[in-house]
A = this chain, B = another copy of it.
Amino acid sequence: MIETDISRVIIQEYCKRLSEHLENDVVIVGAGPAGLAAAYYLAKAGIKTTIIEKKLSIGGGIWGGAAGYNVVTFEDKDILDEIGVTTNKQGKLYTADAIEFSAALAYKAKQAGAEIFNLTEAEDIVLKDETVQGIVVNNSAVRSLGLHVDPFCICAKYTIDATGHPAELVGMLKKSKPELFPQQLQEYFMNVETSEAGCVEKTGEVFPGLFIAGMAVCDVYNLPRMGPIFGGMLKSGKKVAELINEKI
């Protein structure tokens, strides 16, 4: 029956893709701008990359622009041109449509070969030989309902915490190793000039096997927050891809 044919090809293709991506070169947690940009550049370089995202849709904080005015800004537009996003010049800033930007980024990352599993949530880290070797994940709907269900694992040579402000993976590490991150994980007061540059500069490895990118960098290093300007996010994602690419 065609109904069960549809069901079967979906379940089997998903299962195959998931089984094939339990071990990866890189696993990225969070499909926001930094995570998607990192995935795009990693996959383009032929590196086996998986993103997990706890929400049903991807894009993180892009969709709403500022306070729901769905426009986003950039200080330059090289990466936007590369991924094919239309921009307008307004004074010294470039604007783009938030929806177009979000969709283009996801589309290009997928086309480059990155795998994305949505509705999937990191609940812990896999730590062996004092190295982060992947993440412990669960169905995010099951977790939201507080059901008592065990997780499974997605492993990787390198793990990127691209979870944004909460810096969730670093927070998990800190919970058992508070001495590693004595500071509060929080961003500092808004200051766009210093934040955009600092966020890219500090992008990198914070523990063997664990990299940070995007707003998680601001949380870990207490850098200023920046608001709806996304150039730093893209550059941070690109930089983390380059750093990992050099190590592989």
Closest to A173 in B: B189
Known: A3-B126, A125-B190, A139-B67. Contact between A150 and B228, CB under 8 A? Answer: yes
List chain B residues, Cβ under 8 A from A126.
1, 3, 189-191
Does any Cβ of B come within 8 Å of A80's Cβ? no
Closest to A1 in B: B155
Q: Does B64 lie within 8 Å of A137, measured CB to CB?
A: no
Does any Cβ of B come within 8 Å of A206's Cβ? no
Q: Does B148 lie within 8 Å of A60, measured CB to CB?
A: yes
Q: Does B15 lie within 8 Å of A12, measured CB to CB?
A: yes
Chain A contacts with B in 141-191, Cβ cutoff 8 A: 141-142, 144-145, 147-155, 164, 172, 175-176, 184, 186, 188-191
Would you mind naming 21 contact pairs between A and B with Cβ atoms under 8 Å apart? Answer: A1-B23, A1-B134, A1-B155, A3-B126, A5-B92, A6-B227, A11-B69, A11-B152, A13-B90, A14-B69, A58-B103, A64-B148, A66-B151, A70-B119, A99-B118, A102-B103, A119-B142, A127-B189, A141-B141, A152-B227, A176-B189
